[in-house]
């Protein structure tokens, strides 16, 4: 690695140290590549803090790199169809694949549209794999998105670009809370800032509402970065106490955002049982220490260990 490359790598690592939600995503090689490309485009200091921001920057770069010279676009929701005739179809196909839980698609799924191939890919987002069709002794074209998260981001583009505002709520009244659409909802929240839907009409919360639903709502507010909406919705999602089952570094940043924008919070109830990677509790503690009304922190955690005597662990409760 050159000295210049080493310096850029150090800048990226320093930036990721401040963005645990992004650093946690980098465990997946393809996602790490996306993060590195975006860092190269924008610079480490301007690396977006949300997954939506990172994927939007990457998709724009792929389109500009594989499209006509001199094309400009302010948003991937306003991609000029004259320059990118297949992009809206690509996003629609991604949405249909998510709803049907398909990872690989055939030429028939795409239809008769003339495909804008560039070096074996479509905008560097959809790839063609040639496989042998033994029955006909010919090549059979199958296609796959560069990563499932890319498929989900493009599916969100399709929904975010729907022209009729009513259709947004109709779609999410059907699909919100479905596991196969959870990541699509996150991207959709980031692309639209949640300005096209009324969350309360999609998810009328009750006391018995599933914890996963509440977590997904908080995540969507974080991705949207809509502070005024967060201040309005968080008291409905968590009336007095913020109950957190902390599992990933991404969720740590999400709930730190919730702590910062919940106007009437009284306490934080933190449960740490099984985590993926490391979590930076300092983000939560800093946000809690500056909160105007929250005064109580309750932490319940489980430390597992293997011992010769067969001990399996111990439980700790801190209030």
Average pLDDT over residues 11-26: 88
- Residue 279 belongs to some domain of the structure: yes
175-187, pLDDT tens digit by residue?
A: 998 889 999 999 9
pLDDT for res 308: 40
Among 49, 56, 40, residue whose Cα is nearest residue 19: 49
Same structural domain, 70 and 100: no
pLDDT for res 317: 42
127-163, pLDDT tens digit by residue?
A: 888 775 555 556 677 888 999 999 999 999 999 999 8
Number of domains into which the chain is organized: 3
288-309, pLDDT tens digit by residue?
A: 888 888 888 888 776 444 334 4
CB 275 within 8 A of CB 248: yes
- Per DSSP, the chain holds a count of helices (H) and strands (E) of 14, 9
Residue 283 tokens read as 């983000």
User: Which of 105, 127, 149 delimits the end of a domain?
Assistant: 149
User: Which of 78, 112, 129 delimits the end of a domain?
Assistant: 78
- Residue 127 belongs to some domain of the structure: yes
CB 140 within 8 A of CB 148: no
- Residue 158 belongs to some domain of the structure: no
Q: Is residue 91 very low, low, confident or very high in pLDDT (cuts 50, 70, 90)?
A: very high
CB 41 within 8 A of CB 57: yes
CB 128 within 8 A of CB 121: yes
- Residue 192 belongs to some domain of the structure: no
31-55, pLDDT tens digit by residue?
A: 999 999 999 999 999 999 999 999 9
The residue range of the domain holding 93 is 87-149
> Nearest 5 degrees, angle CA 305-CA 306-CA 308?
140
Of 16-30, 108-122, 151-165, 232-246, where does mean pLDDT reach its minimum?
108-122
Same structural domain, 245 and 305: yes
Summary mean pLDDT of the chain: 83
pLDDT for res 228: 93
**What is the distance between the alpha carbons of residues 280 and 259, in angstroms, rounded to a whole number?**
15
The three-state secondary structure class of 148 is: helix
- Residues facing residue 138 across a β-bridge: 133
Same structural domain, 112 and 48: no
Same structural domain, 65 and 114: no
| For residue 207, pLDDT beyond 70 | no
- Residue 72 belongs to some domain of the structure: yes
Same structural domain, 305 and 236: yes
Same structural domain, 71 and 98: no
Average pLDDT over residues 21-31: 89
Q: 314 or 114: whose pLDDT is higher?
A: 114
């Amino acid at each position: 690695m050159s000295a210049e490359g080493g310096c850029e790598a150090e800048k990226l690592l320093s930036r990721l140290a401040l963005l645990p939600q992004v650093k946690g995503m980098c465990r997946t090689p393809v996602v790490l590549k996306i993060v590195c490309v975006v860092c190269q485009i924008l610079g480490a200091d301007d690396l977006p803090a949300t997954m939506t921001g990172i994927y939007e920057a990457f998709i724009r770069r792929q389109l500009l790199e594989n499209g006509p010279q001199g094309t400009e676009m302010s948003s991937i929701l306003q991609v000029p169809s004259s320059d990118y005739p297949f992009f809206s179809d690509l996003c629609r196909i991604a949405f249909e694949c998510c709803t049907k839980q398909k990872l690989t698609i055939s030429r028939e799924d795409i239809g008769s549209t003339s495909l804008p191939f560039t070096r074996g890919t479509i905008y560097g987002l959809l790839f063609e794999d040639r496989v042998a069709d033994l029955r006909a002794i010919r090549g059979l074209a199958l296609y796959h998105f560069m990563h499932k998260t890319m498929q989900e981001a493009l599916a969100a583009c399709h929904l975010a670009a729907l022209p009729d505002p009513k259709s947004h709520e109709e779609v999410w009244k059907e699909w919100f809370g479905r596991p196969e659409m959870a990541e699509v909802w996150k991207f959709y929240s980031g692309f639209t800032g949640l300005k096209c839907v009324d969350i309360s009409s999609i998810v009328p919360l009750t006391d018995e509402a599933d914890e996963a639903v509440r977590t997904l709502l908080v995540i969507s507010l974080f991705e949207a970065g809509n502070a005024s909406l967060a201040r309005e919705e968080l008291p409905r999602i968590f009336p007095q106490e913020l109950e957190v089952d902390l599992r990933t570094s991404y969720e740590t940043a999400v709930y730190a955002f919730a702590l910062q924008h919940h106007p009437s919070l009284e306490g934080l109830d933190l449960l740490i049982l099984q985590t993926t990677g490391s979590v930076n509790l300092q983000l939560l503690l800093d946000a809690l220490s500056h909160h105007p009304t929250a005064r109580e922190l309750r932490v319940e955690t489980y430390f597992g260990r293997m011992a010769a005597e067969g001990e399996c662990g111990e439980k700790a409760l801190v209030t």
